[in-house]
Structure 1
Amino acid sequence: MSYLVIQLPARERLRPGATAAARTAGEYAYVTSADGRSVAAHGRCAPALLPKADTVVAVVADTDVGWHRPTLPKAPPSKLRAALVGVLEDALLDEPDAMHFALAPDAAAGQPTWVAVVHKGWLAAHLAALEQAGVVVERVVPSSWPGDEPQGHFWLPAGADADAPPMLTWSDAQGVATLRLAGGLARALQPQWQRESTRWSATPAAAAAAEQWLGQPVRVVSDDERALQAARSLWNLRQFDLAPRHRGTRALRALARQLLGPAWRPVRVGLAALAVVHVVGLNLWAWQQREAIAERRQAMVELLRSTHPQVRSVLDAPLQMQRETALLRASAGRAGDADLEALLGAAAAAWPEDQGPAPSLRYESGRLSFGAAGWSAPHVEAFGQRLRAGGWRVEAADGRVTVSRPADAAGGRS
């Protein structure tokens, strides 16, 4: 499954009169991956030129996400956002209607939970611009999020000089904070951050300054690698008003991506194995049936040759057996089921008691017909029922009744 991770540019603080949509124009940095862990390709291009992928994830910069930890109100889903506004209203720096809220993956009603807060108009404008270009973002994730494992990442803002002091994003169980190293706050908090369990990382441009500030080496992580790491998180900021609305082909595409995901791999393997076993079983059964049919045909050929040694070329064993048996019967002076004697005997046995002899008879090719102009419909029906019980065929039309032996019955008795 292929992945496309789009790095949303950091939100610029608007000048008076500017609009959020104006900032979405331009290019997006992106990363592609075949497994979601290693970088396959990266670059920057306009939304319409972004590569196609099975899964599309957008990553929000650290400076664009605020973090709060209230007790999640017990409210129905349709009223949960309004309940969150009532809980967080005093802690927000902007109007609640202008903010977008997203709950942590493990949020439970009545329990403390992390809530990510993003500028709603800015994020909605980016999603709309990408969707207009045919890029449907399934998930939006933060670059950093609160977690039990303390982490510190050093990076340089876009457009900053190489010798400019880097920024530090710190995340632990207490939340996420982004500070400038040039200020005194970062230096004051440094002692409590330097723990043995802390994982330090830095972008290539900020690595030297970070090691000098820490006094220890740091792991170098590129922006592309960090974006892939963020895309693997369980967070999804597309909630409430910005939740994706799958309809029609989007719903089918989402279902297909879900079925092709890692969680469904055992099911896919099991279905594939079942299909292979089924195909192999069908082929084995078909082979056995072909062998059984071939054995029966060979048995019929052997029976024909043993019964009628004079037959040298066997083309249709049942038909040839019928013909040879009919010749033997004729040469022995015995009547067959379709001969005149058998037809007369059958007709005489079923003849109506109140009817006289037939005025005329005709025999041809195993069919006996006679005139029955004086017969009523009950006479014809009773005559036919008696003969059909013995395996004969009776037809009545134009004042004549025809008696014959069905082809399969005649062949089986010949």
Structure 2
Amino acid sequence: MRTLIIQLPPGLPSPSLAYTHAQVMAEPGTRPLALQWAAAALLPAADRQTETVALVPAAALSWHRVDLPAGLHKQAQRVQAALQGLLEERLLDDPEHMHLALQTNWANTPSPWVAVCDRAWLGAHLQALEQAGLPVHRIVPELAPGTPGSPVQLTALGDADTGWLWVSHPERGVWGQPWPALRQAGLAAHERLGLSEPEQATATLQAEPGAVAVASELLGSGVRLMPPAQHWLAALAGDWDLAQFELRANARSRQLKNWQRTASHLWHSPAWRPARWGFWLLLAAQLVGLNAWAWKTRADWQAQQNSWAQVLRETFPQTSLVVDAPLQMAQQVERLRQGSGQLGAGDLETMLAALGQALPPGLAAPRQWAYQTGQMRLQDFQPDVAQQQALQQRLSALGYAWRAQGDGWLMSAQTEAKP
């Protein structure tokens, strides 16, 4: 499965506005992304095996922690209104004009994070992409706060003149400073960023090629070179999805893409290779076991058929061809019985005797009946429910079936052999 990741530019959509984008294979590994730029109408087409992801730039988002009322997760229709009320004092703009998105598993997280961006700007870009034939399946932030207990992450993007240094803090969110502002005299870089010296000392630093020199100059050694836009892969691997509330129009499609992405990860990821080998070995063992069981079952069945055929030939030597030994044995026995004049279960006298034996007390015998070999149809016979059940049970014990047929009843021998 492929992923087309598109970074949303800061301005509103226009025919000349270019979108930075890259295509990511199922397992990108450490290969650098091949960045390209194109207007919305010229972006690569996406097929069913491609997931389209919109990347919201770090500069377009603000981050806030909120304390939600208890039980709010049980009232989904009130979540957005509750967030707007909680953030009303913190936002510079009207909360109704902003798009709000909660972190995953927010119901079980104390003080969850809320990502905030301009609703009109985000909606305009999503509409432009959809008109270009690229409905967005997921919306992810370029940078997000770290997990609790993780070190501060510093990410240097761009170049020394126009780039920014971004801070991803597990407790304070995401913020940044342009390089020219960090060069101002009077304060150290970590002080300009609002970091303490211990946080600066334990922070992880990564920088794009154009910002490595200035990052090393202002932050010291320990800066790790990062290919351009390589941090997009971390954004893809995260569990954030800003497509919430009014942007959930494609929720079903996004869920399908999430399943496809998970299946693709399980199928291609090296970390899951032992599990895949184990699955195939288990499947192979099951197939071998089923084939062995089927072979043994067939062998047992064939042995039983052969034993029946042998009994048939020993009992009736005149039998030249054995097709169905049990049936042929029953037919031969029936011929012997008929030849000796003995009554069988399907003979009229035997059936009448069984019916008389099975009739419940107080139920008169039928006056009208019609007989053919192995079957007797009774007319003008109307037992009540209890009598009918008792009659059916007794006849079944004697080897006969009893059921209603039209306006009468049919009695038949259950194991009647046909000559």
Structure 1 position 28, deviation (Å) = 4.1
Structure 2: any 5+ residue segments left out of the alignment?
A: 353-365, 378-394, 401-412
Answering whether residue 337 of structure 2 is matched by residue 337 of structure 1, we say yes
Equivalent of residue 49 in structure 1, options 22, 42, 45: 45
Equivalent of residue 152 in structure 2, options 132, 150, 153: 150
- SS of 2:180's partner is coil
- SS of 1:42's partner is coil
Answering whether residue 257 of structure 2 is matched by residue 260 of structure 1, we say no
Aligned counterpart, 1:212: 217
The count of aligned residue pairs is 351
- SS of 1:31's partner is strand
Per-residue deviation, residues 194-230 of structure 1 (Å, max 9, x unmatched): 6221111111222223223333241111234210111
Identity %: 26
Q: Distance in 1 between matches of 2:415 and 2:3?
A: 72
Of residues 201-210 and 298-307 in structure 1, the stretch that sits farther from structure 2 once superposed is 298-307
Q: Distance in 1 between matches of 2:327 and 2:374?
A: 33
Aligned counterpart, 2:176: 178
Aligned counterpart, 2:391: none
Q: Distance in 1 between matches of 2:62 and 2:151?
A: 19
Alpha carbons 2:2, 2:25 under 8 Å: kept: yes
Q: Distance in 2 between matches of 1:215 and 1:319?
A: 93
Structure 1 position 11, deviation (Å) = 0.5
* 1:289-368 to 2 correspondences below 5 Å: 289-303=297-311, 316=323, 318=325, 336-339=336-339
Per-residue deviation, residues 108-131 of structure 1 (Å, max 9, x unmatched): 599544322111112112222333
Aligned counterpart, 1:63: 59
Alpha carbons 1:3, 1:34 under 8 Å: kept: yes
In structure 2, do the counterparts of structure 1 residues 168 and 77 end up closer, same or farther at CA, with 3 Å as the change threshold? same
Q: Distance in 1 between matches of 2:260 and 2:112?
A: 29
In structure 2, do the counterparts of structure 1 residues 110 and 254 end up closer, same or farther at CA, with 3 Å as the change threshold? closer
Q: Distance in 2 between matches of 1:275 and 1:42?
A: 39
Taking structure 1 as the reference length, what is the TM-score of the superposition?
Answer: 0.64
Aligned counterpart, 2:101: 102
Aligned counterpart, 2:380: none
Answering whether residue 113 of structure 2 is matched by residue 114 of structure 1, we say yes
Q: Distance in 1 between matches of 2:160 and 2:258?
A: 48
Counterpart of 1:22 in structure 2: which amino acid?
A: S
Q: Distance in 2 between matches of 1:410 and 1:308?
A: 18
In structure 2, do the counterparts of structure 1 residues 186 and 121 end up closer, same or farther at CA, with 3 Å as the change threshold? farther
Equivalent of residue 222 in structure 1, options 223, 227, 237: 227
In structure 2, do the counterparts of structure 1 residues 120 and 37 end up closer, same or farther at CA, with 3 Å as the change threshold? farther
Structure 1 position 164, deviation (Å) = 2.8
Answering whether residue 67 of structure 2 is matched by residue 84 of structure 1, we say no
Q: Distance in 2 between matches of 1:201 and 1:304?
A: 87
Aligned counterpart, 1:167: 164
Counterpart of 2:230 in structure 1: which amino acid?
A: E
Q: Distance in 2 between matches of 1:261 and 1:209?
A: 39
Say what the alpha-carbon RMSD is for the aligned residues: 5.1
Structure 1: any 5+ residue segments left out of the alignment?
A: 13-19, 157-161, 327-334, 353-376, 393-404
Structure 1 position 78, deviation (Å) = 2.4
Structure 1 position 50, deviation (Å) = 4.2
Per-residue deviation, residues 367-397 of structure 1 (Å, max 9, x unmatched): xxxxxxxxxx9586599899999999xxxxx
* 1:187-202 to 2 correspondences below 5 Å: 188-192=187-191, 193=195, 195-202=200-207
Q: Distance in 2 between matches of 1:246 and 1:52?
A: 16
Q: Distance in 1 between matches of 2:238 and 2:203?
A: 19
Per-residue deviation, residues 16-58 of structure 1 (Å, max 9, x unmatched): xxxx342795444123131365458634353452465464432
Alpha carbons 2:209, 2:228 under 8 Å: kept: no
Per-residue deviation, residues 124-170 of structure 1 (Å, max 9, x unmatched): 122223334443433322122233421211121xxxxx663532112
Alpha carbons 1:146, 1:176 under 8 Å: kept: yes
Aligned counterpart, 2:294: 286
